[in-house]
């Protein structure tokens, strides 16, 4: 065996990928233990038999006054003689102490010793069976590592921040400090909860995080995952909505663990991005379909065909907790990021909530960005807008409209419509300019729109020209003739009915 002189026969399988020599050695050691146990059991079995024979002899010994025996003379010689005082037995108690007792008492003593012996035998048998099962398992392991075809080793690397999180769940005590755990990725260790009590600081931090997120998002063209901010007791409630409770499971977990204690859950952007990218790239780069969701990295399946180190394909599994965000599945690669919208909203709020455009125009490069930018305010909560391409069964009882023109229009219109909330006015205005393709199709062409309640007469001519088949999506648009006034909404069912009637 080429094994190094490791002494532990109980060595567990090394954390590295399965290696045939290591597994073989483990098996050997385990078999050694089993053999040793077997020998010892045999020995103790013999001892037990000896005691039984002794008991038998002692039982019959007092029957006669004397016995003819061959008295041993030294190791090899014997002399015929007699055994007398057959009832007097001197028993060795250990440490050169003897006890003189009768034959019966000696029998009792022997029985007592037999009990001990049996106990020892039982223990050894247990150990033996235990190790026999381990040997079986190791055999299976060996077969597994040999037959590297179908069997895949799945590993989940546990990040320290998981434990960190668990330890740091403190109740909502205003002055309780979270325990500082070494170089934690959460990075809140150094920040006192007191500081975060203040709303403004909280907002500031959130904004910072979101800004970083955005930057990373732009760099990576993927929404980057958000780090866990462990143990902020005070801020937990508020942060819960955003970033407080999202845990990021990194693929391969080789992200630089020692992130600075600065209140950012991300290290410096570029290196961080690279660092983040690096491991993912090594893993066959198979991240794209699944891991484009920002937080939804549940079970990233990366078939890391072990780079020569092991013959077993390995899946590195990361467990993530879905953040409590509003998130809708708007398509393959889009996940609405709550935080960004929130940041926007806040920003606008800070700017005075006027109708002036946002300081920085949202960089919209993909349909996903559109959804990110446009937010609805529903009952005081920020709700991402649902794609008009998706059938909104709740809102509209009709099927989707898939025409591009109307899609663009839809967004624009919705942007107009939602200018109710001052916060979004800016955003929508800003965004409006971008998807401004055709403000409206021809009045007679299908618009697939439903207009608000007050416009039933207006509605009538439109759908008349429209295709009856397609006159299905009543989208909340304002009629072109009306301009950008806000009108009362009509219930979708009513709208549908109106449409169908006309």
Cβ burial, residue 238 (10 Å; 0-12/13-18/19+): middle
Q: Which is nearer to other proteins, 78 or 493 (CB)?
A: 78
Query: What's the CA gap between 110 and 94, in Å, rounded?
Result: 14
> Binding-site residue total for other proteins (CB under 8 A)?
19
Which helix (H) or strand (E) is 80 found in, with range?
strand 77-83
Binding track, positions 402-431, relative to other proteins; x by CB under 8 A:
------------------------------
Q: How far is the CB of 60 from other proteins (least distance, A)?
A: 10
| Residue 351 is a binding residue for other proteins (CB under 8 A) | no
The token pair at 116 is: 């001990």
Binding segment toward other proteins, per CB under 8 A, in 34-42, 148-156, 292-300, 321-329: 34-42
Residue of 468, 211, 157, 478 whose CA lies nearest to 344:
211
User: Among residues 36, 359, 306, which one has the least CA distance to residue 145?
Assistant: 306
Taking CB under 8 A as the criterion, which residues in 41-80 touch other proteins? Answer: 41-42, 45-46, 49-50, 53-54, 57, 67-72, 78, 80
Structure tokens belonging to residue 341 = 């919208």
Which 73-112 positions form the footprint of other proteins (CB under 8 A)? 78, 80, 83
From residue 282, alpha-carbon distances to 17, 98, 294, 479 in Å are 16, 75, 20, 53
CB 136 → other proteins: shortest distance, Å? Answer: 16
Residue count (the chain) = 502
CB of 46 to other proteins, least distance (A): 5
The smaller minimum CB distance to other proteins, of residues 133 and 393, is found at 133
Who contacts 42 (Cβ-Cβ below 8 Å, separation ≥6)? none
- Closer to other proteins at the Cβ: 116 or 349? 116
- Any contact of residue 15 with other proteins (CB under 8 A)? no
State in angstroms the smallest separation of the CB of 78 from other proteins: 7
Using the rule CB under 8 A, give the single segment among 12-20, 37-45, 248-256, 317-325 that binds other proteins.
Answer: 37-45
**Token output for 309:** 């180190």
Q: Which residue number, 86 or 400, has a Cβ lying nearer to other proteins?
A: 86
Output 43 or 386, the one with its CB closest to other proteins. Answer: 43
* Helices vs strands, H then E, count in the chain: 15, 11
CB 169 within 8 A of CB 231: yes
Q: How far is the CB of 67 from other proteins (least distance, A)?
A: 6
Q: Which is nearer to other proteins, 41 or 473 (CB)?
A: 41
- Two structure tokens written together for 261: 């204690």
- Give the C-alpha separation, 477 to 450, whole Å: 7
**Is the separation of the CB atoms in 314 and 152 below 8 Å?**
yes
What are 346's two structure tokens? 């806040």
Site string for other proteins, 180-219 (x = CB under 8 A): ----------------------------------------
Q: Which is nearer to other proteins, 43 or 497 (CB)?
A: 43
- Which residue pairs, CB below 8 angstroms and at least 24 apart, start in 95-102? 102/62
Smallest separation (angstroms) from other proteins to the CB of 227: 58
The C-alpha atoms of residue 460 and residue 458 are separated, in whole angstroms, by: 5
Applying CB under 8 A, the residues found at the interface with other proteins are 38, 41-42, 45-46, 49-50, 53-54, 57, 67-72, 78, 80, 83
């Amino acid at each position: 065996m080429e094994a190094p002189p490791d002494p532990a026969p109980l060595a567990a399988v090394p954390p590295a990928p399965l290696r045939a020599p290591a597994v073989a050695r483990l098996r050997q050691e385990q078999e050694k233990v089993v053999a040793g146990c077997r020998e010892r059991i045999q020995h103790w079995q013999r001892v037990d038999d000896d005691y039984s024979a002794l008991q038998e002899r002692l039982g019959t010994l007092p029957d006669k006054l004397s016995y003819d025996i061959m008295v041993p003379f030294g190791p090899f010689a014997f002399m015929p003689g007699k055994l007398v005082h057959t009832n007097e037995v001197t028993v060795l108690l250990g440490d050169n102490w003897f006890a003189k007792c009768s034959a019966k008492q000696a029998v009792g003593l022997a029985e007592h010793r037999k009990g001990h012996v049996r106990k020892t035998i039982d223990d050894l048998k247990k150990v033996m069976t235990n190790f026999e099962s381990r040997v079986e398992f190791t055999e299976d392991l060996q077969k597994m590592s040999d037959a590297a075809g179908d069997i895949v080793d799945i590993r989940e690397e546990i990040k320290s921040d998981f434990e960190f999180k668990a330890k740091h769940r403190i109740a909502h005590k205003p002055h309780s400090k979270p325990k500082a755990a070494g170089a934690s990725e959460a990075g809140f260790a150094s920040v006192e909860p007191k500081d975060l009590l203040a709303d403004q600081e909280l907002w500031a931090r959130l904004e910072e995080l979101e800004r970083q997120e955005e930057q990373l998002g732009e760099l990576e063209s993927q929404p980057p995952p958000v780090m866990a901010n462990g143990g902020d007791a005070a801020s937990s409630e508020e942060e819960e909505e955003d970033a407080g409770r999202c845990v990021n499971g990194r693929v391969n977990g080789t992200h630089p663990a020692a992130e600075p204690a600065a209140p950012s859950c991300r290290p410096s952007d570029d290196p961080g991005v690279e660092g983040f990218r690096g491991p993912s790239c090594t893993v066959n780069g198979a991240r794209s379909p699944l891991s484009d969701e920002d937080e939804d990295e549940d079970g990233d399946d990366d078939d890391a065909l072990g780079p020569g180190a092991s013959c077993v394909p390995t899946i590195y599994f990361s467990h993530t907790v879905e953040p409590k965000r509003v998130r809708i599945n708007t398509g393959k690669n889009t996940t609405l990021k709550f935080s960004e919208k929130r940041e926007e909203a806040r920003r606008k709020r800070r700017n005075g909530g006027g109708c002036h455009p946002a300081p920085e125009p949202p960089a919209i490069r993909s349909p996903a960005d559109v959804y990110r930018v446009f937010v609805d305010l529903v009952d005081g909560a920020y709700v991402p807008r649902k794609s008009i391409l998706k059938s909104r069964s709740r809102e509209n009882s009709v099927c989707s409209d898939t025409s591009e023109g109307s899609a663009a229009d839809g967004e624009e219109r919705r942007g107009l419509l939602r200018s109710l909330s001052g916060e979004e006015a800016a955003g929508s205005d800003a965004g409006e300019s971008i998807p401004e393709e055709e403000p409206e199709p021809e009045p007679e062409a299908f618009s697939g729109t439903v207009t608000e309640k007050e416009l039933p007469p207006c509605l009538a001519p439109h759908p008349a020209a429209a295709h009856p088949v397609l006159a299905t999506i009543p989208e909340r648009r304002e009629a072109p003739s009306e301009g950008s006034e806000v009108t009362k909404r009509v219930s979708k069912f009513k709208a549908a009915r109106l449409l169908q009637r006309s």
